[in-house]
Structure 1
Amino acid sequence: MAGFLSRTLDRLMGPWQATIDTIEPGSIVVAPRKPIDLHDEASITEVLDLALRIGAVLLDAGTGAIDTRHQVEFVANIYGLEDVDVDVTFNTILICARRGSTLPPITASRTVYYRSLDFTRLAQVDRLVRKIRQLSITPTTAHRIVDEITDAPHPYPRWVATIAWGLMALGIGVFLGGTWIVWLTAFATTVVVIEFNRRLNRIGTPPFFQQMAGGFLAVLPAALLYPVLENSGLGFSPQQIIATGIIVLLSGLTLVGSVQDAITGAPITAAARFTEVLVMTGGIMIGVALSIRFVGLFHVHLPALTAVPPFGAADVPARVIGGAISAFAFALASYAERRALPAAFISGAIGSGVTAALFLTDLGPIFSYAAAAIIVGLVGGIAARRSLTPPLVVAIAGITPLQPGQAIYRGMYGLMTGTGGSLAMITALAIGVGLATGVTLGEFIARTLQRPQLPTTFPFYRRRR
């Protein structure tokens, strides 16, 4: 299966692969460790600062703590600092370079004050690490490159990202089986929500309240149009519109990173990230609940989503197309490089297709989503092996349409109305964890299948020297 995916991705990515600035596999040579004078504090500090800045970009983009730590150690090791201790927490990186028993150690730290979705910056740092490994560039040159990466503006205008978020909602509407009226309403609602939250962010509003405001606004268009279009025959479904809004707001949260940290040996950071995910998801739920109560004051009562709508073989193509569109749009909204967009499109199509196919069996939703996530993680790892894009970009984009928006809405509505909902909420949590675990396992499988001459940029575990 892995070999088939690898060959398929090679054929599909051929036109874009030719534009990738990589070295031919046969000419790749791992840079030798450079000697460094342990009495030269300025040179050591320069190397430590470079390693910290690279680690900060990785941590900012949602990379797992263990992967970030390995990269910080790797950069320090390449430049001659072999005896280093690195500690990565939720938003802080600490590195200590030991200089033997007669010299005091040198310690440096860096704090990540914000989280951003700029996958271009992540890809550029990925290539910088490859150059450090392959070309043995000097720390001064690497510092200059990091400055250019962190100071550069987003590769696309903000209006392009806003439209992409709307396109993502439209794709999710297709994935959920909605009609054209659902797609257009979801598109318009998401554009308004994203622009409103952007303005809240400019004035320093905490992310929790941004999520709550987004959840509140996601319900209003569905509630306003439902009394008018209920009997129109257009297939207007307020549940699908609300679920679409929930999925858009859930996208980009660090659930994958938290599960990776828990699996790979960073439980404290995993707990912090998982708490962040729960709090942000709680903000969405509170916003949706308040909005439902608000529209109820005007005698607008939305229908309950008591069960998953019927799903058949005829719905598979729509699911595949919708998943591919939403994954592509999420990568674009997250400022991914153009070379990464086809990979995200393919990843979304594969994840949605696998999920749709397994839904036709009796395996259940949790297993279906987890299996699809494993394939998505494997595709991301293969794409990274071809130096196409970091695996995190493809993996996050690929599982974005699979977020359990309907299950969250169904469970929350049941809890509010006293008709149950606990099982739906547990199912939503299990699906989320299954997606994150599946992606982690898929990426690990891809790394174990990696060809020896190609360097890996984000190893889960340090290989024995």
Structure 2
Amino acid sequence: MDRLVDDNRAPADTVVDMPAPVRPIDLTDDATVTEVLDLAERVGEVVLASGTAVMDTTNQIEFIAATYGLEKCDIDVTYNSIRISVDRGPKLPPASTMRVVHYRSLDFTRLAAVDQLTRRIRTELLPPQEALAALDEITGAPHPYNRWVATFGWALMAAGVAVLLNGGWLIALLSFTATMLIDRTNRILNRRKLPFFFQHIVGGIIAATPAVLVSTFASGLHLDPALIIAAGIAVLLAGLQLVGAVEDAITGAPITASGRMLEVIMMTGGIIAGIALTLRVAEVFEATVPNADMTSTRDLTNLPLKLVAGAVTAAAFALACYAERRAVAAAAASGAAATIVYLMIQHLGFGPIVSTGVSATVVGLAGGLLARRALTPPLVIAVAGITPLLPGLRVYRGLYALLNDELLVGLNQLFSAFAVGLALAAGVTLGEWMARDLRRPRIIKRFGAVRRPRFTASRM
């Protein structure tokens, strides 16, 4: 068997995607082989449910299987299922298993714990039974803090977005309150198993209602109530798997990419439907519909405040997704970096799509480089870091224009919002690839050359 040159107990960072087995099992023992497959599949279930791309999920499964000697694996990961088939040689029948992913989870603490368990499997050479027991403990554990803390995180994120869009403290407070109501309402609806599409419609209604009330009854305060809707849209978009969808499309998993992208489009459509319904009802009752300023852009005014708001937005999203303290701190740094890079690139004269793509690349690069030091999966830092840049205001501008019979303007704004979303996801993917490429020379220099095991012809 090929092994690491210096030490077969080296850290997980020192191995390539397909490590040589360091704790080979007896391939004739069906029970043990089944345990290893179950372990690998359940780890893949957790990372896939968290929005991880198919390629990274496959690598995680392959890493665990190969550690125990199951090198000749065919792994098929789709939108909601994982299949593994193992070739045990010419004298033994192949072993196979399948698992359906029934849920979507934004529990970043669970994701980080599974990532750390994968490293333990490699470094401490855990027996399969012990690793399965540790995985049971991780997946069966409650969230690390109360649900109300997560609600506070979502609400704080909305307030941060409102400040980033040049809204005042009153707009931030209204956004905070509306988002808290959205989260608690959807929590109740989720317990009643209402489909997420309708939950997003309800979220859009709740986001738009205070904006209509402010426009109608508090016009003398000279506020921009459209920012309340924009903040609500950004919060509702933040929970979608846009990054994973685009990364799957880029890395060669079109079926899963299509499924995830369809989900993103449907959920976004639910948000738009809820807001449009509220605005139409407002017009029927002769209430004032919040005006969408098509000329305002993010600029360098109040830069220190915006940097703080960007950091708070990203940290609040990580908090809402039950991230650990160190992950929350890393997310805050990532959000501040994304904000300053975006504003500086746009100040140089580039458009929002280029500015967004560059800042997302920086976030992806930082996430990949800092993840190992912070013991946090790159996905956590990257997805949290791009939240200050979500195109909530552009979505509302497009909807407002369409409702006012400005078809070309509306479609242009909605297409621009979609392009910004793609730039965010593609930039994160590129940044994470750059981070992996930069880490590899340091790994080889420290531990020597790492040889890949030979693959069979069917895997080439």
Q: Normalization by structure 2: what TM-score?
A: 0.91
Structure 1 residue 86: deviation in Å?
A: 0.5
SS of equivalent residue, structure 1 residue 330: helix
| Partner residue in 2 for 1:10 | none
Residue correspondence of structure 1 range 172-321 to structure 2 within 5 A = 172-232=161-221, 235-321=222-308
User: Would you say 1:73 and 2:75 are equivalent positions?
Assistant: no
| Partner residue in 2 for 1:35 | 24
Residue correspondence of structure 1 range 5-404 to structure 2 within 5 A = 32-232=21-221, 235-404=222-391
Contact 1:211–1:280, Cα closer than 8 Å, also in 2: yes
How far, CA to CA, are the matches of 2:260 and 2:341 in structure 1? 28
Which of 109-118 and 445-454 deviates more?
A: 445-454
How far, CA to CA, are the matches of 2:412 and 2:201 in structure 1? 23
Q: What is the identity, as a one-letter code, of the residue corresponding to 1:135?
A: E
How far, CA to CA, are the matches of 2:411 and 2:321 in structure 1? 33
| Partner residue in 1 for 2:419 | 430
What runs of 5+ residues in structure 2 fail to find an aligned partner?
Answer: 1-8, 445-449, 454-460
Contact 2:21–2:69, Cα closer than 8 Å, also in 1: no
Task: Provide, for residues 372-410 of structure 1, a one-character-per-residue CA deviation record: whole Å limited to 9, x for no partner.
Answer: 000010110111131431100000000011111111111
Contact 1:31–1:135, Cα closer than 8 Å, also in 2: no
Distance 1:143 1:376, change over 3 A: same
Structure 1 residue 27: deviation in Å?
A: 12
Task: Provide, for residues 179-230 of structure 1, a one-character-per-residue CA deviation record: whole Å limited to 9, x for no partner.
Answer: 0110000000000000000000000000100011100111001111222221
How far, CA to CA, are the matches of 1:182 and 1:254 in structure 2? 28
Q: What is the identity, as a one-letter code, of the residue corresponding to 1:95?
A: I
How far, CA to CA, are the matches of 2:12 and 2:105 in structure 1? 36
RMSD, aligned α-carbons = 2.1
| Partner residue in 2 for 1:4 | none
Contact 1:26–1:453, Cα closer than 8 Å, also in 2: no
SS of equivalent residue, structure 1 residue 449: helix
SS of equivalent residue, structure 1 residue 86: strand
What runs of 5+ residues in structure 1 fail to find an aligned partner?
Answer: 1-22, 456-461
Structure 1 residue 24: deviation in Å?
A: 9.8
Task: Provide, for residues 438-457 of structure 1, a one-character-per-residue CA deviation record: whole Å limited to 9, x for no partner.
Answer: 000001111111156769xx
SS of equivalent residue, structure 2 residue 188: helix
Structure 1 residue 255: deviation in Å?
A: 0.6
Contact 1:253–1:277, Cα closer than 8 Å, also in 2: yes
Q: What is the identity, as a one-letter code, of the residue corresponding to 2:217?
A: V
Q: What is the identity, as a one-letter code, of the residue corresponding to 1:97?
A: V
Task: Provide, for residues 252-301 of structure 1, a one-character-per-residue CA deviation record: whole Å limited to 9, x for no partner.
Answer: 21110011111111111111111110011111011110011112222112
Structure 1 residue 318: deviation in Å?
A: 2.8
Contact 1:365–1:431, Cα closer than 8 Å, also in 2: yes
| Partner residue in 1 for 2:405 | 418
Q: Normalization by structure 1: what TM-score?
A: 0.90
Distance 1:387 1:79, change over 3 A: farther
Task: Provide, for residues 76-102 of structure 1, a one-character-per-residue CA deviation record: whole Å limited to 9, x for no partner.
Answer: 111011111110000100001112223
